[in-house]
Amino acid sequence: MSNKASALQRLWLTILAALWLLPATAAASEAAPIPAFSAAYTVRYGVLRGAMTLELRQQGSGYLYATSLRPGTIVSLLRRGAIREVTTLAITDAGVRPVDYANTDTLARPNRYAAYVFDETTGMVTGEYKSRVVKVPMRPRGHNRISAHVAIMRALQTGAEISAFPVFDKGRWRDFEFATILDQSVETPSGRYDTVEIRYSSSDKERSWSLHCASALHYLPVMIEFREGGKIKSRAQLTSYRLEDDRSE
């Protein structure tokens, strides 16, 4: 793998960590609907550029949430592909619950795939990661790394208390320390927003992430930053979005 392709892979992993390794939420009092949306972002990691999309839509009595990450023009000449993730969600009075999850990474060489089922009946997470069979006990209020994103948005939308929860990633459960910072104003290509910042870190404090969620957009994330050794290494910023019953460019 070339140096640029390797750096691109680190970029995607960084942004995915920032978006999906989020703290969990306490249950809201009612199972209020989550507004459907789609959003596009520009991503920077040093000199590298990329594009990311997020989309949430209703599917039956639940939701389907999908993400896609693609390299910019220069890197795409060296390495074609994308990282795509999708999860099915059930929304109940107890909160957001993941039903299944799938990941396809065609940027990696060889390509990488993962798929999990979160089975409440058996109390197990089962599936496959890098051709390895996965069978791990469920954990209370557990999420995969993208269902956690929807859970945090729903908590902010309903005013539910935010508390830590485990995230299932790369075939195992992971825990993170986090803090909530109110009244943060950020500037993005799509405009200036008042946000709530969710800041969380690895256990050794060496790496940390900041996710800025805008109250005016149903707490859609408008900026994500990754820091390592106290320095900003990457940033993703909202460029356009579409909310249910509303269109913006």
More confident residue, 22 or 39: 39
Pairing of strands 162-163, 143-144: unpaired
Residue 249: inside a domain, yes or no? no
Nearest 5 degrees, angle CA 188-CA 66-CA 76? Answer: 70
Residue 14: inside a domain, yes or no? yes
Residue 31: inside a domain, yes or no? yes
Residue 156: inside a domain, yes or no? yes
Residue 206: inside a domain, yes or no? yes
Residue 37: inside a domain, yes or no? yes
Domain that holds residue 176: 3-243
| pLDDT for 78 beyond 60 | no
Residue 95: inside a domain, yes or no? yes
Nearest 5 degrees, angle CA 92-CA 152-CA 119? Answer: 45
| pLDDT for 14 beyond 90 | no
Q: Count the domains in the chain.
A: 1
Residue 248: inside a domain, yes or no? no
Q: Is the dihedral of CA 188, 189, 192, 198 positive or negative?
A: negative
| pLDDT for 163 beyond 80 | no
